Amino acid sequence: MAKAFDELKKFLDEKRDLHYLLSILNYDIQTSTPEKSIGRESELLSKYASELAAMEKNPEYIRLVKRSYEEEKDNPRREKLLRVALENIEFMEKVDLETYERWNQAFQKSNEMWRIAKKNDDAAIYLPYWKKAVEASREIAELRRKPGQKTRYDSLLSQYEPGETEELVDSVFNPLRDYLIEKFPFVMKKQEKALFPEIKAYDVNHQRELSYDLLKLISYDLDRGCLRESMHPFSDNMSKDDARITTDYSVEDWRSNLFTIIHEGGHCIEFQNWPEEQYADYVEGSATAALCETHSRFYENIIGRSKEFAPHLKALCEKDLGEEFKDMPLEGFYNLLNQVRPNLIRCDADEFTYSLHIIIRYEIEKDLINGKIEVEDVPAIWNKKYKDYLGLDVPNDREGFLQDVHWSDGSFGYFPSYALGNIYGAQILNSIKKDLPYEEILKNGDMAAIRKWFAEHDFAYDYLDPVAWINKVTGEGMNPKYFIDYLEKKFF
Ligand SMILES: [Zn+2]
């Protein structure tokens, strides 16, 4: 008898094709679609998105997933693929169409009102709609909750980071939070005396040259990807030979594009270096958000803001932006890459304070989903935490709790990924250093060697759940000590 998985492949191929098509449409809309055609292209996008969603309800597909799951338990990649597929099927079986519609509308309306509220700095018009989205998220959390998950939030968290719990995240975030709050004023004090050269404006054409040179430098394969511009930068693992990037140029501050390119390029280096068997078993792209952020943030911060790599970046700035970089002392250039200051906006935060922005969001969303607080309480709690942790007065909700899109459409449980990425990254750095003369390699700019290490020791296992993955890559469970040591060494 034929194995069920062989029969299932026709559905998996179809899903893969639809995913590629949707990604192409989305990339086009974000970067190049003419204004008057955006409506038409968006219609195409929702048409094929519905086709993809409908497959989850196809009885033949469901039957084959259930049978394959029993047959393929010994193949870790297929086990992962089928386990996730099965969880989605089981969840959808519990939900009637009416409830599903009600949730979708709650999220859509809340997201729509968030846009208006943020634009006008008017939280009051948003809160009643957000309340409904939060209630929907609580219902989903209860329905998805598995034995062993102590709280509702555990259930949402494990949607993004399977197997992780509040207890585990608390055990790494709490010591990190206390360390950052205590040390932050000292870093600021130390930087008062440091040399910070002037930041000059550079036009988009010069910065674009720099973008391509940076991508080549970090070993991104330009024959299997491309770079365009969009309002919000992103990267997408569209298909096996197609991992695309976007950026957004700030004429006033060249650092913004430089780090965007290294960050998004870092994401794509992971996408471009998955082994063949991940494609054969359809698990390409099943790395969790925290794993993906580990790699992008490793390239952006651990490599991109390092002393060893700074001369390479400075040389490219001199070549593409202007001669003035030649006269700039290396120390001043390095300081510009590592300027620490309190900032109200998460996306503009420096490497030192970034995790505090995430921890504030984590602490609030956890209490909100678990029912310890309600949406009406959030603005005041937000402002108090920004004062207590970062010493900042929040002047308005637009720059306060309304700044991020995540909460408006019910993406609760996603924020921790960003800070977990920092913690995993420093832990992996420790492992790389055991295997390679890492600092030498960075000084020589031999980025292919770094890419090769990641491909063999890390990307090859990134379909695993985070707990299993970090153990495989570093030989131990998640440990915040490495990130704290890294910050200590770098900033003191
Ligand atoms: Zn990212």
Ligand 1 geometric centre to CA of 260 (Å)? 9
Q: In what order do the strands lie in the sheet containing 242-247?
A: 227-229, 242-247, 235-239
Which residues sit with Cβ closer than 5 angstroms to ligand 1, an ion? 296
Domain ranges (residues) in the chain? 1-88, 204-338+417-491
pLDDT confidence of residue 33: 93
Nearest CA to 176 out of 324, 374, 389, 27 is that of: 389
Contact 233, 247 (CB under 8 A): yes
Ligand 1 geometric centre to CA of 9 (Å)? 30
Q: How far, in Å, CA of 443 to CA of 304, rounded?
A: 12
Q: What is the pTM of this model?
A: 0.93
Q: What is the pLDDT along the chain (492 residues), one digit of tens a residue?
A: 679 999 999 999 999 999 999 999 999 998 999 989 988 998 998 899 889 888 888 999 999 999 999 999 999 999 999 999 999 999 988 888 889 889 989 998 999 899 899 999 999 999 999 999 999 999 999 999 999 899 999 999 999 999 899 999 999 999 999 999 999 999 999 999 999 999 999 999 999 999 999 999 999 999 999 999 998 899 999 999 999 999 999 999 999 999 999 999 999 999 999 999 999 999 998 999 999 999 999 999 999 999 999 999 999 999 999 999 999 999 999 999 999 999 999 988 999 999 999 999 999 999 999 999 999 999 999 999 999 999 999 999 999 999 999 999 899 999 999 999 999 999 999 999 999 999 999 999 999 999 999 999 999 999 999 999 999 999 999 999 999 999 999 999
Ligand 1 geometric centre to CA of 323 (Å)? 32
pLDDT confidence of residue 1: 65
Ligand 1 geometric centre to CA of 160 (Å)? 14
Tell me the CATH number of domain 204-338+417-491, given options 1.10.645.10, 3.90.1720.10, 1.20.59.20, 1.10.1370.30. Answer: 1.10.1370.30
Ligand 1 geometric centre to CA of 6 (Å)? 34
Taking CA atoms, 5 is separated from 286, 290, 322, 431, in Å, by 18, 29, 57, 36
Ligand 1 geometric centre to CA of 434 (Å)? 27
Contact 491, 354 (CB under 8 A): no
Listing DSSP states for 267-317 in one string gives HHHHHTT--HHHHHTT-TT-S-HHHHHHHHHIIIIIITTSTTTHHHHHHHH
Q: How far, in Å, CA of 20 to CA of 24, rounded?
A: 6
Name 229's bridge partners. Answer: 247
Measure the N-to-C terminal CA separation of the chain; round to a whole number of Å: 65
Ligand 1 geometric centre to CA of 406 (Å)? 14
